[in-house]
Each structure stands twice: as C-alpha cells, then as structure tokens.
Structure 1
Amino acid sequence: MQRLLIVFFISLGIILGGSLIGSIGATLAKESPLKSMRELSKELKLWAVVISIGGTFSNLKLFEGGLLEGEILLVVKQFILLITGFLGAQLGIWIITILTGGN
C-alpha cells in the first residue's frame, strides 16, 4: 500500500510540476502559458508513469520473468503499479485542465 501511494504521488507531481515549470518557459518564449500547461500535461503522461514505477529495465525484467516463469502474483503487482501510475498522471492532467479552463 505504501508503494502504491508513492507511485501515485510521484506521477501526479511529475505532471503538475512539469506543466508548471514548462509554462514558465512558454511565457519567456512569449507563448500562451495556459495552453502550454495543457499540452505539456498530456505529453508528460507516459513519462510520469514510467518514472513513477522506477523507470528502469529491471521492472520490465520482473514483468517478463513473471510471465515466462509463471509468477502470476508478480505480474499482478506490476500491473497494479502501472495502473496506479496512470491514475496519478490522469489526476494531474485533470487538475491542470480544470485550472487552465480547458476542455
């Protein structure tokens, strides 16, 4: 349960922080910061999930080993971590969309 919370909030933080800091760069480049925040939040989604679960090949090897060696519990745990990362990233996108008045 502790690991799930960490994964969730890491992916949420990557979306919120990356979008906010990226919008500062857009402001300096004389672009719309709100539009930039919305676009960045969507572009960062996959990266947020990968980074939140560890972002290394060892996680993929665990997944592969679980499938090939029949360790279903290990595969289920990795799948739950992935879903948790996606949920955190999706919440971040939703928050950014609401704050910027987007669709």
Structure 2
Amino acid sequence: MSYFLSKAGLDFFIAFGVVMGGAMLAGVGSIFMLLPPATVMLDTALRLKIWAIVAAIGGSIDPVRVIESNISAGHLSPAAQQIAFILFAFLGAHVATELIKLMCKGAV
C-alpha cells in the first residue's frame, strides 16, 4: 500500500478515535456527575472535532508550514498531499460526530 493511502487512513481513524473515545468517556463521566449523558456526549463530540483534526495531522503547525513552503516554491504535489491529509482527518472527525449524533438522537 502506498505511503499516501496509509497516512490518509491513519489520519482518518486517529481523528475518528479521538472524537468517539472522548465523547464516550465524557458520557461515562457524566453518569458519575449526575448529568445527562447524551447531551454531554454531543457537546463533547462537537468541541473535540477541531482538536481531533489537529491530533491526527501531527499536533503542530508543521503541516501548515509544509503547505506554505511548497506552494511558495512552486511544488504543488506535497502541498496537495498535506491538504488531503487534513481533509481525511476532518472526514474521520465528522463521521464520528455524526455517529455520536445518531446514537444520542432519541435521548436529547
């Protein structure tokens, strides 16, 4: 399998796991705090979405620097790859958020 597909797949699943795991654990914690789990899970999933993308792409500003430096130098392929990795991470976070919304649909 190519480097691009394996990195894109990992970015998707890392972002998915951050949102899904964070929302599920927030739901468990809300039970101990006597709060409504579905509401806490939905709120947590929405708030974690951007952080899941950041975590999936490396947790720093380096991917943005790669995009900027490659576009400035006229190399579009590495910049396009970084943008695609960010899009895959967004897709993973979004799918997890929608799944949490679906799971909590009847409870809110």
Instruction: Select which of 48, 52, 56 maps to 2:56.
Output: 52
Residue 98 of structure 1 pairs with residue 97 of structure 2: no
Q: How far apart are residue 70 of structure 1 and its match?
A: 1.4
Identity percentage over the alignment?
25
| 1:101 alignment partner AA | K
Q: Distance in 1 between matches of 2:64 and 2:103?
A: 35
Three-state SS of the structure 2 residue aligned to 1:44 is: helix
RMSD of aligned residue pairs (Cα, Å): 1.4
Instruction: Select which of 69, 76, 79 maps to 1:75.
Output: 79
TM-score (norm 1): 0.93
1:25-81 CA deviation, whole Å, 9 max, x = no partner? 222221101111011111100000111011122222211211211111111001101
1:4-24 CA deviation, whole Å, 9 max, x = no partner? 110000000001000011122
Q: Which runs of 5+ in 2 are unaligned?
A: none
Partner of 1:43: 47
Q: Distance in 1 between matches of 2:88 and 2:49?
A: 13
Q: After the TM superposition, list the runs of 4 or more consecutive aligned residues in structure 1 that deviate by more than 4 angstroms.
A: none
Greater Cα shift, 42-51 or 24-33: 24-33
Q: How far apart are residue 82 of structure 1 and its match?
A: 0.8
Q: Distance in 1 between matches of 2:70 and 2:85?
A: 14
